[in-house]
Amino acid sequence: MSALGMNANGEVRTASEFKDIFVDSAVSHEPYRCPFCEVPYEARCITTVCVKAPHFKLPANTEHINGCNGEAGSDALIAIAGSPGKQRRTVVGEIELPEVLIDRRKAQLVRRPGDDGTGPPPDAFEVARRRKLITSDEVTASRFTTSLLGQIVDAYIRLRNDARDTALKANLKSGTPEYNAKYSEVVNAHPLSLYKQKFTYGKAFQGKHLRPAGTERVYNGRGVVRAENGHFIILDNEKWPTEVKTKDSLVPFEVVVRQAPVAGAPTSHLAILKELDGLAASGKVVQWWAYGLPTLQAAKFELIIDSLDHLYWPDQHKR
């Protein structure tokens, strides 16, 4: 299995990034090739939900050519000089739970100017040049990453359901210490990094019952959207504690989004802003999820959204 692939336009991304594009816009970039030797790839778990992380696979009876093994790295020349024996492959995950939240990245390009991919396949030295050109990033190459909070939220909801089912199958009664321990065991068995902060799925999310942790996490609640002073504001239905282990000091919690799109915003961000405008007009209660750092400002918590990739609600830009 390989993590890196290239579309017909010569854009190189990880399989996880191509999945983000599909989830975000319903656009598939198939067919894919190896970005280095340009043998055809089959896409796996990019446009479908399955048990493995997104990856690329060689078709049956197909091999990489000219010293390529489908991976980037500065050791490319070794592959040319060495024997054509079995190459190292990077496995990109065992279950479909995103492991790392990252920023959107621009595609990398490896073809030379004027090369449209219709000529002869790259020779060994061109393969080596391309492998050295591509930034080798261990995180994005070997782990299931996403820039979309929604993918992590959907995974978290599936994981919670699995934890509940696991506890019930063990004949544990909901609400008992034994049930809670089994539930916690399941949700904390899976790591999740929010950028460079390392958590488990069980620790990365926080709701209204606890004081905001003072670190960037995924916060969630329910509330109504309003438009005010150039911003969309989601006021949570519940008040949140300002002190640890007490409910005596509760204040409002607001999620704040700029109404104006940033320069060069992707189409999906424009769609989110349009949907927020519609939600503000309708007064509909929305179940929201947001990544960021809430701060206590003038007797209320305020979570300012830096990127619209960090805000999610069910049926967001539903097609």
For the cut 50, the answer to whether the pLDDT of residue 314 exceeds it is yes
Is the CB of residue 204 less than 8 Å from the CB of residue 258?
no
**Total-model pTM:** 0.83
304 Rama sector, left if φ>0, alpha if ψ -120 to 50, beta otherwise: beta
For the cut 50, the answer to whether the pLDDT of residue 81 exceeds it is no
**Mean pLDDT along residues 274-283:** 95
- Mean residue pLDDT of the chain comes to 87
Q: Cβ atoms within 10 A of the Cβ of 200, count?
A: 14
Instruction: Sketch the domain layout of the chain as residue ranges.
Output: 4-147, 148-204, 207-319
pLDDT, tens digit, 9 for 90 and up, residues 138-183: 555 567 889 999 999 999 999 999 999 999 999 999 999 999 999 9
Is the CB of residue 299 less than 8 Å from the CB of residue 137?
no
CA atoms within 13 A on the CB side of 251: 16
- Please report the pLDDT score of residue 85 as a whole number: 41
User: Where do we find the tokens 């506890």?
Assistant: 167
> Given the DSSP bridges, would you call strands 4-6 and 145-146 parallel, antiparallel or unpaired?
unpaired
Distance spanning both ends of the chain, measured CA to CA? 31
CA pair distance 220, 204, nearest whole angstrom:
11
Q: Cβ atoms within 10 A of the Cβ of 271, count?
A: 16
* DSSP assignments along 157-214, one per residue: HHHHHHHHHHHHHTTPPTTSHHHHHHHHHHHTTSEEEETTEEEEHHHHEE-TTS---S
pLDDT, tens digit, 9 for 90 and up, residues 3-17: 899 999 999 999 999
Q: What is the CATH number of domain 207-319?
A: 2.40.50.140
Where does 237-300 show beta strands of DSSP type E? 240-241, 250-251, 253-258, 285-292, 295-296
3-class state of residue 308 by DSSP: helix
Is the CB of residue 294 less than 8 Å from the CB of residue 219?
yes
Name the residue with higher pLDDT: 89 or 135. Answer: 135
* DSSP assignments along 93-150, one per residue: -SSS---EE----PPEE-SPTT--S-SSPP-HHHHHHHHHHS---HHHHHS-EES-HH
> Given the DSSP bridges, would you call strands 40-44 and 32-33 parallel, antiparallel or unpaired?
antiparallel
Indicate the pLDDT class of residue 21, thresholds 50, 70 and 90.
very high
